[in-house]
Structure 1
Amino acid sequence: MDSLSINSLLEDLKNPNASVREKATKKLWRIWFQQKGIHGLEKIDQSQKLLDAGKTTESESLLTQLIQEQPDFAEAWNRRAFLYYSVGKYKESLADCQMVIQINPVHFGALHGMGLCYAAIGQYLDAIKAFKRALTIQPYSLVNQKLILECTLRLS
């Protein structure tokens, strides 16, 4: 998909109409998951099935192999960041989220993930910054607004 279409979808994330925002969000996720074609998508699906089955080591290995094969596949990094976060490896998750943002600076999911990681390790100011960056892309995100308030309360 060309950058004009992506820019249009990013603009739709700022639309007051919730339906427009929801469609744009789904389309962006689809683009990100399909960035490397069917091979990348199949590997990500396979890793998620392993994770769902409690096979985190196998899931991590699969994602790491995919990242080695395709280091510019942002969603492979993002899925591994999610895996790390889900098992409490917050610093590893944060590092992967930062890679996602290097590859795809508008990846609101990775920015949200960065905020969650920072909050989990008690770095609330950094968490707030990450959630605010996510809000510049998705200004109507209630979850990020709520998390900013929660982190702000923890600072006081």
Structure 2
Amino acid sequence: MLTAQAVAADCPPAPDVEAELDTLIAQANGAENFTQGREASDAMWRLWLRAPDQGAQDLLDRGMRRRDVFDLLGAYGDFTALTDYCPDYAEGWNQRAFVSYLREDYAAALVDLDRALELQPRHVGAQSGRGLTLMQMGRLAEARKQMLEAVDNNPWLGEAALLEPGQPLGPEGEDI
């Protein structure tokens, strides 16, 4: 059996999406309507869901299918295999964090989100996921700051509603 380090040595580098991401963040911020904003958002997700090779793509896709039918244990296993195989691929960490979030294991989710953002600091999904996780942990000031960063990169996020007055991450003094 191969060690995680030996397996990771076989994973090609994660795709470089920085130039495309620059363009998509600019498109999201310049969008004049929901349709344009959604198109930029969807294109961002297609970037992040582009795995380094077919083996990684298969693990990602299988884990997402399992997650979608709430086979959270199976999904977590697939995403762990993915992070073991491709430790520098941010989306593997982000997806594993989402499974931990769904399992209400917020501490584990936060660790994986931090790793995803270390690898891809402008990963809007990981940014908003981290904001939601911090909110669930009762760390509202940190959650608000993180969500503002996510919305700065993509103002069309549904989670932006949490920043409105009277909402959990609304302006200080106006949260619930």
Asked whether the two chains share a fold, i.e. TM above 0.5, the reply is: yes
The structure 1 residue matched to 2:46, chosen from 22, 30, 36, is: 30
Runs of at least 5 residues in structure 1 that lack an aligned partner in the other structure: none
C-alpha distance in 2, partners of 1:105/1:143?
A: 18
Q: Verify the 8 A CA contact 2:134 2:140 in the aligned structure 1.
A: yes
- Structure 1 match to 2:150: 134
Question: For 1:112-151, what aligned pairs fall within 5 Å after superposition?
Answer: 112-144=128-160, 146-149=161-164, 150-151=167-168
Give the Å deviation of 1:63: 0.8
1:102 to 118, 122, 129: 118
Q: 1:4: which partner in 2?
A: 19
TM-score by length of 1: 0.88
> Conserved in 1, the CA contact under 8 Å of 2:38 and 2:156?
no
Query: Which runs of no fewer than 5 residues in structure 2 stay unpaired?
Result: 1-15
Task: Tell me by how many angstroms 1:46 deviates.
Answer: 0.7
Among all aligned residue pairs of Structure 1 and Structure 2, give the percentage whose two residues are the same amino acid. 23
Bigger Cα Rg: 2
Deviating 4+ runs (over 4 angstroms): none
Between stretches 127-136 and 9-18, larger displacement belongs to 9-18
- 1:84-139 deviation line (CA, Å, top 9, x unaligned): 00010011111111111111111111111111111111111111011111011013
Provide the aligned length of Structure 1 versus Structure 2: 154
Q: Which residue of 1 aligns with 2:85?
A: 69
Cα distance in 1 for partners of 2:157, 2:64 equals 25
Q: Is 1:43 equivalent to 2:59 in the alignment?
A: yes
Deviations 1:44-103 (A, max 9, x none): 111122223443222211211110110011111111011000010011111111111111
**Alignment partners' CA distance in 1, 2:63 and 2:17:** 28
| 1:86 equivalenced with 2:69 (yes/no) | no
Q: CA RMSD in A?
A: 1.8
2:94 aligned partner, one-letter code: N
TM-score (ref. length: structure 2): 0.79
Task: Please give the alpha-carbon distance, in whole angstroms, between the structure 2 residues aligned to 1:122 and 1:5.
Answer: 35
